[in-house]
Amino acid sequence: MHSLFISDLHLAAERPQITAQFQAFTTDIAPQAAALYVLGDLFEYWAGDDDNDALGMQTAAALASLAARGTRVFLMQGNRDVLMAGAFAARCGATLLDDPLLADLHGTPTLLTHGDALCTGDADYQRFRAYARDPGNQARFLAQPLAARREQMLGMRAQSEASKQQKSETIMDVTPAAVDELLRRHGYPRLIHGHTHRPARHIHQLDGHDCERWVLNDWYQRGGYLRVDAEGCAAILL
Ligand code: MN
């Protein structure tokens, strides 16, 4: 029995080859797994669950048929798709997860998170994150017509790309102290996250514990996933 983890697909109409790779993944690879976890940023942006554009519908259909074949599907919001909510999860036959979530994964306590909350060196981003996750702000945003929301999302996306150019590599990575604090708070579990687009296996030596931290790959150039079973984790590129 095994589970699969993916994140940061950033599915977008402009990158049809990644959408195709994801669709093939859901029919050829994921059905053998007991569970598929999508740890955020499935979409490049998400204007609300009432957005019924073709990409969202195709993606939901692919996940729903995977779920119908017996693989449990779990979705976590990322920073790009923080508005992905229960209605979309239901369309996918999926369960929406809290961030962070401590899970027993084939016998090993494992903390799952998108990862952006760990980038505490980027104060501007953390301010924006708090704003974007505020229920009142979300309700006000969602009250606008879909076309206006889409337009604002595209504007924010352009702004975020521009501001990333000016930030140092260190600021855009996780802050080691934030990782330590999270691991300590949850009893020194294994940690799996995405967001930074720096796939790796790290070991955090902390208070006499060796905590494994797996960072998932993004899907900008090619897809990939983390396979987890009772023996451990393996990162596999498509
Ligand atoms: Mn992200």
Choose the weakest-confidence range: 151-165, 196-210, 213-227.
Answer: 151-165
What is the per-residue pLDDT for 161? Answer: 85
Sheet-wide strand order for 3-6: 94-97, 72-76, 35-39, 3-6, 224-229, 232-237
Q: Is the pLDDT of residue 168 over 90?
A: no
Q: Is 158 exposed, middle or buried (0-12, 13-18, 19+ CB in 10 A)?
A: exposed
What is the per-residue pLDDT for 159? Answer: 87
CA distances (Å), 17 to each of 11, 195, 216, in order?
A: 10, 21, 20
Q: Is the pLDDT of residue 209 over 90?
A: yes
Fold of 3-237: Purple Acid Phosphatase; chain A, domain 2 (3.60.21)
What is the per-residue pLDDT for 163? Answer: 85
**208 C-alpha vs ligand 1 centroid, how far in Å?**
31
* pTM, 2 dp: 0.97
What is the per-residue pLDDT for 165? Answer: 84
pLDDT tens by residue, 48-88: 999 999 999 999 999 999 999 999 999 999 999 999 999 99
Q: Check if the beta carbon of residue 238 is closer than 8 Å to that of residue 25.
A: yes
Q: pLDDT band for position 170 (50/70/90)? A: confident
**105 C-alpha vs ligand 1 centroid, how far in Å?**
23
Q: Is the pLDDT of residue 172 over 90?
A: no
pLDDT tens by residue, 122-152: 999 999 999 999 999 999 999 999 999 999 9
What is the per-residue pLDDT for 34? Answer: 98
Q: Check if the beta carbon of residue 55 is closer than 8 Å to that of residue 19.
A: yes
Q: And the tokens for 186?
A: 């949850």
Map out the domains of the chain as residue ranges: 3-237
Count of beta carbons in the 10 Å neighbourhood of residue 85? 17
Kindly give, in sequence order, each residue whose CB lies less than 8 Å from that of residue 191, ignoring residues fewer than 6 positions away: 110, 111, 113, 179, 182, 183, 204, 211, 212, 213, 214
**21 C-alpha vs ligand 1 centroid, how far in Å?**
20
**90 C-alpha vs ligand 1 centroid, how far in Å?**
22
